[in-house]
Amino acid sequence: MIVVKKQFNLDDGRLAYHGYLSFKLIVHNKIDTSEQLQAFTDSTQSRMDDLIRRRTHIQNKLRRMTEPEAAEALKAEKSALTRQITPLRGDLKLAAGIAENTVRMKERIAMTRQIEWQEKQKLRVKSRDRGRER
C-alpha cells in the first residue's frame, strides 16, 4: 500500500478533503451510477438557473427602485437567493470533479491491483526458490 501512495502522491491533505466532500455528496444524494450523477447535475443546474433568473429579475428591479424601504427588502431577498445559489455551485463543481475522476480512479484501481499482483508473484517466486535450495 505504501508503494501505491508513493506512486500516486496520495499524501496530500487537499486530495483527502476533496474525497471526503465527494463521498458526502454521493452518500447524501444516494448516487450509485453515472446516470444518477448526471441526473443530479441536471436537476441542480436547473434549480440554480431558476434561482439566478429570479436574482437577476430582482437586480433589475433594484436598478429602477426609488424607495429606500422597498429597496432594502429586495436586497435582502437577493442576498437570500445568493445564499441558496452558493452551495448549488459547489455541488455542481464536485459532481463535475466526480465524473471527471471516475475514469482516473478506475485506472488507478487497475494499476494498484497489478502492483499488488506483481508483489505477490515476487513472494511466490522467492518462496519457491527457497524450497529448491534445501
Question: Which cell goes with 46?
Answer: 436547473
Q: Where are the domains of the chain?
A: 9-129
Q: What is the pTM of this model?
A: 0.65
What does the pLDDT read at residue 20?
84
Answer whether 98's CB lies under 8 Å from 29's CB. no
The per-residue pLDDT for range 89-115, each reduced to its tens digit, is 999 999 998 888 887 877 888 899 999
Query: What value does the mean pLDDT take over residues 79-94?
Result: 96
**pLDDT band (50, 70, 90) for residue 132:** low
Q: Which residue has the cell 488507478?
A: 108
